[in-house]
Chain A
Amino acid sequence: MTSIKRKILDADGVNRAITRISHEILEANKGIENLALVGIRTGGVDLARYLSKKIEEIEGSSIPIGIIDITLYRDDLSIATHHPIVGSTEIDFSIDDKNLVLVDDVLYTGRTVRAAMDALIDFGRPKAIMLAVLIDRGHRELPIKADFVGKNVPTSKNDVIKARLEGDLGVDIFISKDD
Chain B
Amino acid sequence: MQLRNKDILGIKDLDRDEIELILDTAESLKWVSNRDIKKVPTLRGKTIINLFFEASTRTRTSFEIAGKRMSADVINISASSSSAVKGETLIDTAKNLQAMSPDIIVVRHGSSGAPQIISGAVKASVINAGDGCHEHPSQSLLDLLTIRQVKGQIEGLRIAIIGDIKHSRVARSNIYALTKMGAQVVVAGFPTLLPPEIEKMGASIRKTLDEAIIDADVIMMLRIQKERMTGPYFPTEREYSMLFGLNAKRLKSAKSDVTIMHPGPVNRGVEISPEVADGPYSVILEQVANGVAIRMALLYLLSGRKHEESRKEARDENNN
Contacts and interface: CB of A to CB of B under 8 A. Distances in A.
Physical contact A–B (CB less than 8 Å): yes
Interface of A: 69, 71-74, 77-83, 85-89, 118-119, 122-124
B31 A83 contact: no
Interface residues of B, number: 28
A172 B37 CA distance: 39
A119 B32 CA distance: 10
A72 B32 contact: yes
Contact of B307 (A69, A74, A81, A122): A81
Interface string B1-30: 110000000000000000001001101110
A92 to B, nearest CB: 10
A79 B307 contact: yes
B42 interface: yes
Say what secondary structure dominates the interface of chain B.
Answer: helix
A89 B41 contact: no
B42 A78 contact: no
Report, nearest first, the 3 A-B pairs whose CB atoms are least far apart.
A83-B304, A72-B40, A86-B28
Interface in B184-235: none
B70 interface: yes
Given A85-B25, A86-B25, A122-B40, A80 B307 contact: yes
A82 B45 contact: no
Interface in B285-313: 297, 300-301, 303-305, 307-308, 311
A85 B1 contact: yes
B36 A69 contact: no
B303 A123 contact: no
A122 B2 contact: no
B35 A122 contact: yes
23 contacts: A72-B300, A73-B40, A73-B41, A77-B307, A79-B307, A79-B311, A81-B311, A82-B2, A83-B300, A83-B301, A83-B304, A85-B1, A85-B25, A86-B297, A86-B300, A87-B28, A88-B28, A89-B31, A119-B40, A122-B35, A122-B39, A123-B36, A123-B37
Nearest to A118: B41
Contact of A83 (B32, B40, B45, B303): B303
Contacts of A69: 28
A32 B2 CA distance: 42
A124 B28 CA distance: 19
A45 to B, nearest CB: 15
A124 B135 CA distance: 41
Contacts of A87: 28
Interface string B21-63: 1001101110110011101111001000000000000000000
A82 B31 contact: no
B271 to A, nearest CB: 36
Given A82-B308, A83-B304, A124-B36, 10 more contacts: A71-B42, A73-B42, A77-B304, A82-B305, A83-B303, A86-B29, A88-B28, A89-B31, A122-B37, A123-B35
